[in-house]
Structure 1
Amino acid sequence: MPAAKKSDEETKEVKELNSAEPAAEVAAEDVDDGEDDAEDVGGETTGEAKKKKKKKKPKKKGGAKVAQSSPPRVGLSKFFPDGKYPVNEEQEYKDDNRWRTTSEEKRYEERVAMEDPEITYNNIRKAAEAHRVVRQHVRQWVKPGMAMTDIANMIEDGTRAVVEENGLEAGVGFPTGLSLNHCAAHYTPNAGDKVVLQQGDVLKIDIGIQVGGRIADSAFTLNFEPTYDKLIEAVKAATDTGVREAGIDMQLGELAGYIQETMESYEVEVNGKTIPVKPIKNLSGHSINPYQIHGGKSVLLVKNDDPTKMEEGEYFAIETFGSTGRGRIVESGECSHYAKRVDAPHVPLRYEVHVRSKAAY
């Protein structure tokens, strides 16, 4: 559902250029390639650029029964006292790349290449589980008539509680995106914002949760009447395709083509007129580095000639945006997202002291 993440500089609201039709809408979805739950098709996942066989979520055994509150305020450690978090969805390699999962030697090499695979995977799974808990509550709780500020506060308060916020060790990954209608991404209410969610709105909700610097960057779209159901279905299907086809050695330009093909197979009927769903050309998914939401590689939504490959040990947010407009965005509106530049140059700062004698006056 929602998508498009924070840049390394100030990021303004990203708004879709409307077509001649007055009701151009945008839906989006993104997942971090790895974890998912059955509730959200294409769901929210997180993980390394490798695929494995899909497994069912293991049932917790023994111990006292713990129930999550509503809104969610019970930390994950109460549900997983052993500190081990569920694996959830894994995708298996196919065809010429299947040897990556059948070769014991290759799997060993990949484990050795990671600094600490067990800790890394567990951090990602914890962030994904926290995202799942918060997301499920948001789906039930958000309704027309709510102020956008209240929605943002509810999401981020729930995130901090469930993931058990602890400085840089765990907490909110980036400002919550709450982008309405033609606004594709990067809107969150600033202080004094008075916008209220309406019955006919299409709302992209983009939630980030980090554990040990590993960011679960995932989003989804909500609507409250059926006009744009097919638009949301299109971006879910496109995200599913992106996750299924992603993996080590996949060329990013080729992956974009698979996403585009799926997205463009859908149409939306609005006021008796059939409108094709278009992927937004200048938005993309991306790789994720520790404590860095944009890792340098981009997964566009339209087929291109980028030969860059996904590599061992990399993590990606597979993000798809579908539009009933022109399929391109422009930046406008207030800035609501900020991030520290990881490549900012060193600037020496000096404090100059000027001393004057009383005689000078």
Structure 2
Amino acid sequence: MGSKTPDEHRQGPDESSGQASIAAVNPQRPASASGLLHGTLEGDDEDGDDDDGGDLGVDSNHDQPKNGKQNKKKKRKSNKKKKKKKAPSGEQTTPPRVALANLTVFQDKQYPEGQIVDYDKNDNLQRTTAEEIRHLAALNDMDDEFLNDYRKAAEVHRQVRHHVQTIAKPGVSMSKLALEIEEGVRALTGHQGLETGDALKAGMGFPTGLCLNNIAAHWTPNEGGKEIILQNDDVLSVDFGVHVNGRIVDSAFTVAANPIYGNLLAAVKDATNTGLREAGIDARMDHMSGIIQEAMESYEVELNGKTIPVKAVRSLSGHNILRYKIHGDKQVPFVKTRSNQRMEEGDVFAIETFGTTGRGYMRDDVGIYGYGRNEGVSTAGLHHATAKSLLKTIDDNFGTLVFAKRYLERLGVKNYQLGMRSLVQSGIVEAYGPLVDVPGSYVAQFEHTVLLRPNCKEIISRGDDY
């Protein structure tokens, strides 16, 4: 699913990190655990007696002679020698004088960690940022369950995609194609999405996009709309997503029955494959964007006796994918762009490119492609009962997944137009409309999803079709 560039579209709610906390505090260690042995100061004997204070003269109240003169005796010195108590071998003395390397407790050269305290954003503003926290969360999430969910979603996408490629021929209707895709995804994931919450377990990652000719992105057939039949001279881009437990695979392809569009499709496919080749940990978006554009714009198409250069679309981009959110906070432009963003370990990216024979600048067209819940907008000011009821249905069945009007109608929701208008006007729900180039132009799209794993990248959606 295409993502608008920053100048065109706001990418998700603001996020910030909370107050950091102490991660671990070491308990008080006993003396024996730290290698210290108390009570071995020099001069202490084994019984704890004070040698310096032994055998004093007789008390003045005793042994006085009859003549009244006090018989004074000299203080006698003790003949005992002062003993030094040695610490057992491998333990520390007091005061400490034994090298750590000679202490038994440190024979493995493993020393105790100090108090672990997370960086406080108020103390170090640039260390633990919201972006870093999201990245670490994504990295921690990349476990066996994560990979299994993504691989299942990718296999569902491949099988449905291959079937659709066999029926996406002149004469087929857009409604038929959308139905085949959506029924296939729901059947293969095992979740029909009719019971409350079932569509959040697995199913469609976003509405099926079926874009003809100058429509670049975000068009889908709606109930009551004019039926559109694929023609021999049409260029059709098919873009749909599959999710399992919120892990979304996003992949797209373009078909054209007339071979005159061959170079247009080849240019965009080459650009997407270039992006996939360049993608990786620490890859810089500004560097990638220039290479992708160069690959795409090295092609030209001959239409109606005119040679037309293929242009990279400037108002769309690839994007990272978050759990239950098709558009993350990073973008992968395919027009040379100045950006300090880069790819990181644990990221999931949809590498997609759009090429056109038109101007290369998309504009919004009339109609509704789908709706998406905006988490960052407060619902406190929502007063209409119909809007509140509709919002609960959206939260229970789609969460932050983008959905089409027909998905609501499939659940049996009726008379939702007024409530939806209120949700959109308040910013709680965002409406997506078609994006188009100038009439008479043709746009093609190719896309795959790539996982940036710690030791490799996995193009999760790639199959034998390309």
TM more than 0.5: yes
Q: How far apart in 2 are the matches of 1:207 and 1:163?
A: 14
Tell me whether 1:138 sits opposite 2:171 in the alignment: no
The root-mean-square deviation of aligned C-alpha atoms, in Å, is: 2.2
1:177 maps to which residue? Answer: 209
Unmatched tracts of structure 1, length 5 or more:
12-109, 353-361
1:197 maps to which residue? Answer: 230
Higher relative contact order, structure no. (Cα contacts within 8 Å, ≥ 6 residues apart): 1
- Structure label with greater radius of gyration: 2
Structure 1 counterpart of 2:345, which letter? Answer: E
1:103 maps to which residue? Answer: none
Structure 1 counterpart of 2:316, which letter? Answer: L
Q: 1:244 to 1:116 in 2, by over 3 A?
A: closer
Kindly state the Cα deviation for residue 271 of structure 1 after the two structures are TM-superposed. Answer: 1.6
Tell me whether 1:342 sits opposite 2:375 in the alignment: yes
Deviations 1:233-268 (A, max 9, x none): 111110000011011111112111111010011111
Q: 1:337 to 1:349 in 2, by over 3 A?
A: closer
Structure 2 counterpart of 1:238, which letter? Answer: A
Tell me whether 1:261 sits opposite 2:294 in the alignment: yes
Q: 1:112 to 1:348 in 2, by over 3 A?
A: closer
| Alpha carbons 1:6, 1:339 under 8 Å: kept | no
| Alpha carbons 1:148, 1:195 under 8 Å: kept | yes
1:290 maps to which residue? Answer: 323
1:156 maps to which residue? Answer: 182
| Alpha carbons 1:6, 1:294 under 8 Å: kept | no
Superposed, which structure 2 residues align to 1:16-31 within 5 Å? none
Q: 1:155 to 1:348 in 2, by over 3 A?
A: same
Structure 2 counterpart of 1:4, which letter? Answer: G
Q: Secondary structure at the match of 1:219?
A: strand
Structure 2 counterpart of 1:299, which letter? Answer: V
Within the candidate set 120, 129, 147, 2:173 is matched to 147
1:24 maps to which residue? Answer: none
| Alpha carbons 1:5, 1:186 under 8 Å: kept | no
Superposed, which structure 2 residues align to 1:1-361 within 5 Å? 4-5=2-3, 113-115=139-141, 117-165=143-191, 166-193=198-225, 194-347=227-380
Deviations 1:254-305 (A, max 9, x none): 1111110100111111122111111001110001100001011111111111
Q: 1:281 to 1:350 in 2, by over 3 A?
A: closer
Q: How far apart in 2 are the matches of 1:113 and 1:142?
A: 38
Q: How far apart in 2 are the matches of 1:133 and 1:237?
A: 23
Q: 1:330 to 1:351 in 2, by over 3 A?
A: closer
Q: How far apart in 2 are the matches of 1:140 and 1:256?
A: 33
Task: Tell which deviates more after alignment, 286-295 or 115-124.
Answer: 115-124
| Alpha carbons 2:203, 2:242 under 8 Å: kept | yes
Kindly state the Cα deviation for residue 344 of structure 1 after the two structures are TM-superposed. Answer: 2.1
Kindly state the Cα deviation for residue 345 of structure 1 after the two structures are TM-superposed. Answer: 2.3
Q: How far apart in 2 are the matches of 1:268 and 1:202?
A: 13
Kindly state the Cα deviation for residue 161 of structure 1 after the two structures are TM-superposed. Answer: 0.7
Kindly state the Cα deviation for residue 331 of structure 1 after the two structures are TM-superposed. Answer: 0.5
Task: Tell which deviates more after alignment, 160-169 or 148-157.
Answer: 160-169
| Alpha carbons 1:257, 1:304 under 8 Å: kept | yes
Identity %: 49
| Alpha carbons 2:138, 2:346 under 8 Å: kept | no
1:52 maps to which residue? Answer: none
| Alpha carbons 2:235, 2:255 under 8 Å: kept | yes
Q: 1:116 to 1:238 in 2, by over 3 A?
A: closer
TM-score normalised per structure 1: 0.65
Q: How far apart in 1 are the matches of 2:138 and 2:167?
A: 44
2:19 maps to which residue? Answer: none
| Alpha carbons 1:281, 1:301 under 8 Å: kept | yes
Kindly state the Cα deviation for residue 346 of structure 1 after the two structures are TM-superposed. Answer: 3.9
Q: How far apart in 1 are the matches of 2:3 and 2:139?
A: 28
Q: 1:351 to 1:200 in 2, by over 3 A?
A: closer
Q: 1:229 to 1:114 in 2, by over 3 A?
A: same
| Alpha carbons 1:130, 1:162 under 8 Å: kept | yes
Structure 1 counterpart of 2:148, which letter? Answer: N
Structure 1 counterpart of 2:236, which letter? Answer: L
Deviations 1:191-214 (A, max 9, x none): 122111111110010011001111
Q: How far apart in 2 are the matches of 1:297 and 1:182?
A: 26
Kindly state the Cα deviation for residue 350 of structure 1 after the two structures are TM-superposed. Answer: 6.3
Structure 1 counterpart of 2:2, which letter? Answer: A
Deviations 1:84-106 (A, max 9, x none): xxxxxxxxxxxxxxxxxxxxxxx
Q: How far apart in 1 are the matches of 2:383 and 2:199?
A: 30
Q: How far apart in 2 are the matches of 1:288 and 1:351?
A: 33
